[in-house]
Amino acid sequence: MSRVHVTCTINGDPAEFLCDGGQTLLDALRDEVGLTGAKEGCGTGDCGACSIVMDGRLLCSCLVLAPEADGRNISTVEGMATGDDLHPLQQCFLEGAALQCGVCTPGFLVAAKALLDRNPDPDETEIRYGLAGNLCRCTGYDKIVRAVQAAAQTMNES
């Protein structure tokens, strides 16, 4: 079966990959591009572990077909740090122990960044609603919310 050639931008760099027509973008990012940050938790849009941003929209890459990415601009968790400098969200997740097993973390980071890009100073309720599409079975969420609040503060001060 002939594969589909996709040309897009990933984390600011031009990228190309071959995929199957029915392959999800999550699988293509992991298996064809080698970016394994986005995780498959459920494959049905419920857990958010596969969260990425495509053309400015936060979405579940498990519900996107890979050929849809053609011509699009994609951001994944791999694009958050600048070299060795972690993004404030990553730093605050680490310092605040906002992760245990870490499977949900890339999705939370991408979703939290999308939230702060849109609303730089969210209150707790806004954070909880903004991250309602991300599930964590380890932390109990509280430390995640605190980490996002701390990151927002750091980013607003700098």
Ligand X SMILES: Cc1cc2nc3c(=O)[nH]c(=O)nc-3n(C[C@H](O)[C@H](O)[C@H](O)COP(=O)(O)OP(=O)(O)OC[C@H]3O[C@@H](n4cnc5c(N)ncnc54)[C@H](O)[C@@H]3O)c2cc1C
Contacts of 15 (CB under 8 A, 6+ apart): 7, 8, 9, 33, 74
Instruction: Check if the beta carbon of residue 6 is closer than 8 Å to that of residue 19.
Output: yes
In the sheet with 73-75, reading across from the earlier edge strand, the strands are 13-19, 4-10, 73-75, 51-54, 57-60
Give the one entry of another protein, ligand FES, ligand X, none that residue 57 binds, where binding means its C-beta sits below a cut-off of 5 to 8 angstroms depending on kind: another protein
122 binds, among another protein, ligand FES, ligand X, none (CB under 5 to 8 A by kind): none
Stretch 14-53 residues interacting with ligand X (CB under 6 A): 44-46
Please tell me the count of residues contacting another protein according to CB under 8 A. Answer: 32
Q: How far apart are CA 26 and CA 98, in angstroms?
A: 24
Query: Least distance to ligand FES from the beta carbon of 29, Å?
Result: 12
Kindly indicate which of the ranges 74-82, 88-96, 130-138, 142-150 contains the residues binding another protein, using the contact rule CB under 8 A. 130-138
Beta strands (DSSP E) in 25-140 are 51-54, 57-60, 73-75
Binding site for another protein (CB under 8 A): 1, 4, 20-24, 27, 43-46, 48, 51, 57-60, 62-65, 67-68, 111, 114-115, 129-130, 132-134
